[in-house]
């Protein structure tokens, strides 16, 4: 694979940030209200940018679709702005991934298309910015948002940040980092100096020195003596010719008859008959 690791890092960060942004957009928990007037002490009201849910700390029951009960909250300026920017961030992230994927060429051996990859990185960076802006704005005005919900102690209302704010911050930062990584990778690898797509001009200007190796020394020729055959006939050898051949080899001396052990009584066997 010719895909640089810096592009793979950006391709991993961008989808993870998109999933966190999607959860932050859909889930109704941008801020949490507790100690409500006329409600039990364990009642908690979770407000998002699309819906409002009521839950209880002592049980797992949750009641949603309570948007009509607090139209004042949804009339705040930040709510429609956050809705539009969060949805736009999700769409821009998908477009950026669709541009970066063919530019990275993860499934081919050819080098990536750096201009296409850089354009996708810019889109992913913009999607992260579109997420961070409404999240930061909502966090800044979170205690002062208008609502019809009353508290048991109006002087010190119990308002806390929901988990959607945390997920939105993390997702937006991940997308910003992914866009920066993709763009920095283009700046560092532009021209193929780190990947070898294009020849380096300094390498072309440098003179190349070629070393000539001496010719290998031939081995001396050795004359192998020819082997002469006794007879070119295919007929078997006669007994006389075999005896003549055996005469060339030394034979063992025969033992004296008197030296044989007299205690040994040889008996004839069937093989000797």
Residue 241 domain-assigned?
no
Burial class (CB within 10 angstroms; exposed 0-12, middle 13-18, buried 19+) of 66: middle
Report the alpha-carbon distance of residue 131 to residue 254 in Å, rounded.
114
At residue 220, φ and ψ (nearest 5 deg) are -65, 145
Say what the alpha-carbon torsion angle 263, 264, 268, 271 is, to the nearest 10 degrees.
180
**For the stretch 222-261, what's the b/e string if a residue is b when 16 or more beta carbons lie within 10 angstroms of its beta carbon?**
eeeeeeeeeeeeeeeeeeeeeeeeeeeeeeeeeeeeeeee
What DSSP character marks residue 170? Answer: H
Dihedral sign computed on CA atoms, order 17, 22, 27, 30:
positive
Report the alpha-carbon distance of residue 187 to residue 218 in Å, rounded.
56
Cα 181 to chain centroid, rounded = 16
What DSSP character marks residue 53? Answer: E
**Are the CB atoms for 18 and 88 separated by under 8 Å?**
no
**pLDDT of 226 over the 70 cut:** no
pLDDT value of position 196:
46
pLDDT value of position 165:
93
Q: Give mean pLDDT, residues 259-266.
A: 52
**pLDDT of 265 over the 60 cut:** no
pLDDT in tens, 180-211: 888 876 665 555 444 444 444 444 455 555 55
Greater model confidence, 115 or 69 = 69
Q: What domain range is 151 assigned to?
A: 5-194
pLDDT value of position 230:
53
Question: How many CB atoms neighbour CB 160 within 10 A?
Answer: 12
Structure tokens that stand for 195 in this block = 């990947």
**Who's near 172: CB < 8 A, 6+ residues apart?**
17, 21, 89, 128, 129, 131, 132, 135
Where residue 42 sits, what CATH number does that domain have? 1.20.140.150
Residue 72 domain-assigned?
yes
At residue 62, φ and ψ (nearest 5 deg) are -135, 135
- Number of domains observed in the structure of the chain: 1
Report the alpha-carbon distance of residue 51 to residue 46 in Å, rounded.
9
pLDDT in tens, 135-175: 999 999 988 888 888 887 777 778 899 999 999 999 999 99
Residue 256 domain-assigned?
no
pLDDT value of position 174:
93
Residue 249 domain-assigned?
no
**pLDDT of 20 over the 60 cut:** yes
**Are the CB atoms for 38 and 69 separated by under 8 Å?**
no
Residue 214 domain-assigned?
no
Q: What share of the chain in percent tops pLDDT 90?
A: 26
Residue 215 domain-assigned?
no
pLDDT value of position 9:
82
> Residue ranges of the alpha helices (H) in the chain?
5-26, 71-74, 78-104, 114-141, 163-189, 201-205, 239-246
Residue 248 domain-assigned?
no
């Amino acid at each position: 694979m010719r895909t640089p690791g810096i592009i793979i890092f950006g391709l991993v960060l961008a989808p993870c940030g998109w999933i966190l942004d999607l959860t932050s957009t859909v889930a109704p928990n941008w801020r949490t209200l507790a100690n409500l007037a006329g409600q039990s002490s364990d009642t908690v009201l979770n407000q998002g940018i699309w819906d409002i849910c009521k839950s209880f700390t002592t049980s797992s029951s949750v009641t949603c679709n309570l948007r009509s009960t607090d139209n004042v909250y949804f009339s705040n300026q930040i709510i429609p702005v956050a809705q539009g920017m969060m949805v736009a961030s999700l769409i821009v992230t998908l477009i950026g991934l669709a541009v970066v994927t063919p530019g990275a060429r993860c499934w081919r051996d050819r080098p990536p298309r750096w201009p296409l990859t850089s354009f996708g990185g810019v889109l992913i960076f913009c999607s992260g910015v579109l997420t961070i802006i409404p999240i930061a704005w909502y966090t800044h005005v979170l205690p002062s948002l208008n609502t019809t919900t009353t508290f048991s102690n109006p002087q010190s209302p119990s308002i806390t940040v929901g988990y959607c704010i945390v997920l939105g911050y993390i997702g937006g930062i991940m997308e910003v980092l992914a866009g920066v990584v993709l763009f920095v990778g283009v700046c560092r690898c532009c021209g193929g100096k780190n990947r070898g797509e294009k020849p380096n001009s300094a390498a072309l200007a440098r003179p190349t020195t070629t070393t000539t190796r001496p010719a290998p020394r031939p081995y001396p020729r050795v004359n192998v003596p020819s082997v002469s055959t006794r007879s070119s006939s295919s007929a078997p050898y006669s007994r006389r010719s075999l005896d003549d051949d055996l005469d060339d080899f030394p034979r063992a001396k025969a033992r004296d008859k008197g030296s044989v052990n007299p205690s040994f009584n040889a008996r004839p066997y069937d093989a000797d008959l």
